[in-house]
Amino acid sequence: MKNLVIGAGLTGSVTANLIATKWNEKVIVIDKNNFVGGNINDYVDEQTQIHVHRFGPHIFHTNSERVWKYLSQYTDWHEYSFEPNVVIKGQKVTLPFNLNTIKQCFDKQTAEKYTKKLVDTYGMEHKIPILELKQTNDEDLKFIADFVYKYVFEGYTVKQWGLKPEEIDESITARVPIYISYDNRYFQDKYQAIPKNGYAEMIKNMLYHKNIQIYLNTKYQDILKENFDRIFYTGSIDEFFNYKYGMLPYRSLTFDVETIDCEYYQPTAMVNYPCDNDYTRITEHKHFLNEKSSKTIISKEYSHSFELGKNERYYPIKNDANSELYEKYLRDAKQLKNTYFLGRLGAYKYYNMDQAVLAALEFWDTIT
C-alpha cells in the first residue's frame, strides 16, 4: 500500500479520489469518526427522513467553474439560495443587513430617508463596510453603522468568539458590510446549491472506487506509518507533532438537536440571535432540500472554547501569536519527506467548502 490519507472530510476525500482516479494507485483512507464527510457530514433522521447537517448549516456556494465541475461528477444538486434572518429587538428581519432590513427595522419615513442617503451616496448593489460608514461626517450614515454594529455584530461576536465587547477589535468586526440592495441572498456566487442526496452521499460517491479502502473509527495514532510511501494528513497539525510547541487554539460548537411536532419552526433555514438567548443561531434543516414532513428538526448552536477530548475544533482563532505558533509547526512539517498537511486543520485556516476543494485540487497540481 503506497498512499495513506488521514481524514475522510472534504479535503481527504478529494485527495483520495484523485490518487485513485488520476494516478490509478491504491489508497487507504482512515477517519477517527464512524462516518465520512468530517465537518460536512449529514445524516437522514429515521423518524422524519429529514437530512440533518450534523455540524451546523452547510450551504455550498462558489464562483469556481473548476470546483463546481469536479464535485458535479459525484452529486446532482438542489439549487438553494441562502436567505437567513437575524432577530433584532425581538423581530426576525433579513440578513445580510440590506435595504429590506432597513424597511423592516424603521418606520416608513425613516426607512426612506436612510435608503435614499445610502443609495445617493454609494449607489445600488454595493457592499459598504460599517467601518467606512462610521468614518463619514454624515449623521444618518453613522447612525445606521452604529445600529448594525450594536444589533447585529457586537452581540454575535461576543457569543461566537467568547469575548467581552471591549475586547472586540472594531477594525475587524466593522469590516462587515451593509448591502445596498434588495437582494436577500447571503451569497452572490454563481453556483449555490445543496447536494440532492446530501453531503455524506456525495463524499461516499467520491470514495467509491476499487483503489480506495476506508477504515472508520481509526485514528492516525493507531496506524503503522512506515507501511506507506506517502502520507496526506488532514487532521490538526499540532496534534501530529504531539503539541510539542503548544496547542493551536480554536473555537468549538455544540448543537442541541430537537424534533418538534409542527410543520415549520421558523421561516428560513437559519435565524441568528445576536442579542437574545445563549445560543448564537437556530438551524431548521428541512429548508435546505425542501423536505416535507409533519414534524421538523432544529439545532440550537452554542459556541465554546475548544478543549481537547471534550469537544471538536471548528474555527481557528487568528492572531499574531497563533499564526507564529502555526508557522513553527509548518517549518517542521516541511522537513518531512512525502508527508503533506492539508485541509482546514492542516492549514489552520477557515476554508469554505469550495476553498477546501480548490486547495486540494491545486495541491494536486503541484505534486503531479
Applying CB under 6 A, which residues contact ligand FAD?
6-12, 30-33, 38-40, 55-60, 219-220, 234-235, 239, 253, 314, 343-345, 351-354, 356
Cβ nearer to ligand FAD, comparing 15 with 98: 15
Which residue from 354, 340, 267 is spatially nearest to 3, judged by alpha carbons? 340
Cα Dmax for the chain: 72
Shortest Å, Cβ 294 to ligand FAD: 27
DSSP H helical ranges for the chain:
10-18, 65-72, 99-105, 108-122, 130-134, 139-148, 155-161, 170-173, 199-207, 237-240, 320-335, 343-347, 353-367
- Residues facing residue 43 across a β-bridge: 52
In the numeric block, the cell 503506497 is attached to 2
Cβ nearer to ligand FAD, comparing 122 with 314: 314
Shortest Å, Cβ 28 to ligand FAD: 11
Which residue from 100, 290, 59 is spatially nearest to 188, judged by alpha carbons? 59
Shortest Å, Cβ 200 to ligand FAD: 11
Cβ nearer to ligand FAD, comparing 4 with 128: 4
Cβ nearer to ligand FAD, comparing 6 with 88: 6
Contact 51, 40 (CB under 8 A): no
Cβ nearer to ligand FAD, comparing 40 with 130: 40
User: CA quadruple 315, 320, 325, 326: dihedral positive or negative?
Assistant: positive
Cβ nearer to ligand FAD, comparing 23 with 186: 186
Contact 267, 85 (CB under 8 A): yes
Q: Which three cell numbers stand for residue 134?
A: 462610521
Q: Which three cell numbers stand for residue 295?
A: 414534524
Shortest Å, Cβ 268 to ligand FAD: 14
Shortest Å, Cβ 213 to ligand FAD: 15
User: CA quadruple 125, 127, 132, 133: dihedral positive or negative?
Assistant: positive
Shortest Å, Cβ 359 to ligand FAD: 8
